């Protein structure tokens, strides 16, 4: 267990804080329904169930449409919180983002990151470095006919803005990273939409996941001012990969029906030692991007992080994709042509191994499918760490 303490030593977790304060707990799982590490934190009084505001996890499923490990984990989490809080699990499901990515290929280790907040609700503050802040939002359910279309873009953009307000982050430039989970179109959802007189963008579940990720990335980019809010740009989604967000990480899955958004950034309204940095990857071999993400946090990998610096790292999030042009730095790759192993599994294993080697730690959230999330054929690397 790698728990990063919420309050200063000797301070009870129930003591009211004058300002919001964020803690990040990176916890192991023995299987996709294993929440024993989080239950132990509750039992030990390290955090209280009501302080949990979001979860991002990496499960050992296949990462595809039929990856039910994500839903299994979510169901178990909501059951645990419902029992501790005395609230219906279905109610919590509509409020608390639980964003899972399947696929722990290679050295990647199944784990989940719990975000806990204490203190008063954040209020917008003036510019300044501040501490790491979090805001969350869950959109209204997204109909199947809107997946991958401008209606989804608008939904995500609105949720990002809502989450920024909740975090007390006044400026888009103070946002470090945005994690989104979007619904996809299953065969059943497509049939229901058709029966209601609607037309879905695609009834192919795999393609709908890619389209949902693209729309989600555009939504984040618009909310952060990286792209103009112009519906005419809908034609660029999945086509013009020169348009992208440098801070968006988007996943899609069958286990959600709405757009779930987690915004992380810095706000002078918050206190604490946590900071975050994010850097784009130009391709799957861009080990320099890992160093670039570490540098603002005062860490230098030469070539691997020291044990002292590694202990400061609270969480790592990576987006990547197999280059759709079939080459990496002029050399042919075969990921897209392998009918035995899905290309996303190839790229998660490859990039995950590279980043883990630099950090000396396999607890990394690595998600494939980086449409418009960083440069084409690349992705991004984001790191949360405690200040030195």
Which of 54-63, 112-121, 123-132, 208-217 is predicted least confidently? 123-132
Q: Any known ligand binding at 189?
A: no
The string of pLDDT tens digits covering residues 298-330 is 999 989 999 999 999 999 999 999 999 999 999
What integer is the mean pLDDT of 179-187? 96
Q: Which of 50, 103, 48, 57 is nearest to 76 (CA)?
A: 57
Q: Any known ligand binding at 102?
A: yes
Q: Any known ligand binding at 70?
A: yes
The string of pLDDT tens digits covering residues 365-375 is 999 999 999 99
Catalytic residue among 58, 139, 155, 181: 181
Catalytic residue among 155, 205, 245, 251: 251
pLDDT at 128: 57
Q: Any known ligand binding at 298?
A: no
Confidence class of residue 127 from pLDDT cuts 50, 70 and 90? low
Q: Residue 232, CB half-sphere, CA atoms under 13 Å: how many?
A: 2
Collapsing DSSP states into helix, strand and coil, what is residue 94?
Answer: coil
Q: Any known ligand binding at 63?
A: no
The answer to whether the Cα torsion of 42, 47, 49, 52 is positive or negative is negative
Q: Any catalytic annotation for residue 109?
A: no
DSSP category for residue 125:
-
What does R_g of the chain's alpha carbons equal in angstroms?
Answer: 20
Say if residues 250 and 220 touch (Cβ distance below 8 Å). yes
pLDDT at 49: 98
What integer is the mean pLDDT of 229-257? 96
Q: Any catalytic annotation for residue 251?
A: yes
Query: What DSSP string describes 10-38?
Result: T--TTSPPSS-EEEEEEEE-SSTT--HHH
The structure's pTM equals 0.93
Phi/psi region, residue 200 (left: phi>0; alpha: psi -120 to 50; beta: rest), is beta
% of the chain at pLDDT higher than 70: 93
pLDDT at 124: 60
Choice between 11 and 314, residue whose per-residue pLDDT is larger: 314
Q: Any known ligand binding at 252?
A: yes
The string of pLDDT tens digits covering residues 250-301 is 999 999 999 999 999 999 999 999 999 999 999 999 999 999 999 999 999 9
Q: Any known ligand binding at 374?
A: yes
Q: Any known ligand binding at 373?
A: yes
């Amino acid at each position: 267990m790698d728990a990063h303490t919420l309050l200063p030593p000797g301070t009870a977790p129930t003591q009211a804080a004058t300002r919001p304060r964020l803690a990040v707990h990176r916890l192991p799982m023995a299987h996709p329904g294993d929440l024993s590490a989080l239950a132990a934190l509750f039992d030990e009084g390290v955090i209280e169930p009501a302080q949990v505001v979001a979860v991002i996890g990496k499960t050992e499923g296949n990462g595809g449409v039929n990856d039910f490990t994500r839903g299994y984990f979510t169901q178990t989490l909501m059951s645990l919180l419902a029992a501790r809080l005395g609230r219906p699990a279905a109610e919590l499901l509509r409020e608390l983002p639980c964003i899972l990515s399947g696929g722990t290929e290679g050295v990647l280790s199944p784990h989940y990151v719990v975000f806990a907040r204490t203190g008063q609700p954040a209020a917008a503050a003036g510019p300044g470095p501040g501490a790491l802040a979090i805001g969350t939002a869950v959109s209204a359910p997204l109909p199947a006919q809107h997946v991958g279309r401008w209606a989804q873009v608008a939904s995500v953009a609105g949720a990002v803005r809502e989450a920024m307000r909740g975090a007390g982050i006044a400026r888009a430039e103070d946002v470090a990273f945005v994690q989104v989970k979007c619904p996809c179109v299953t065969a059943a959802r497509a049939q229901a939409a058709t029966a209601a007189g609607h037309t879905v963008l695609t009834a192919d579940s795999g393609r709908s996941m890619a389209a949902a990720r693209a729309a989600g990335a555009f939504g984040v980019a618009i909310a952060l001012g990286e792209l103009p809010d112009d519906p005419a740009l809908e034609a660029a989604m999945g086509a013009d990969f020169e348009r992208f967000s440098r801070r968006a990480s988007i996943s899609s899955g069958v286990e959600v029906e709405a757009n779930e958004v987690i915004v992380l950034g810095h706000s002078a309204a918050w206190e604490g030692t946590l900071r975050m940095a994010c850097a784009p990857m130009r391709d799957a071999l861009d080990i320099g991007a890992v160093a670039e993400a570490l540098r603002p946090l005062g860490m230098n990998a030469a070539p691997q992080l020291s044990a002292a610096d590694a202990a400061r790292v609270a969480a790592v999030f990576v987006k990547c994709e197999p280059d759709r042009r079939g080459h990496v730095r002029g050399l042919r790759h075969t990921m897209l042509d392998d009918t035995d192993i899905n290309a996303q599994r190839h790229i998660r294993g490859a990039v995950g191994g590279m980043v883990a080697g630099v950090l000396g730690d396999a607890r990394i959230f690595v998600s494939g499918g980086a449409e418009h999330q960083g440069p084409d054929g690349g992705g991004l690397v984001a790191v949360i760490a405690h200040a030195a």
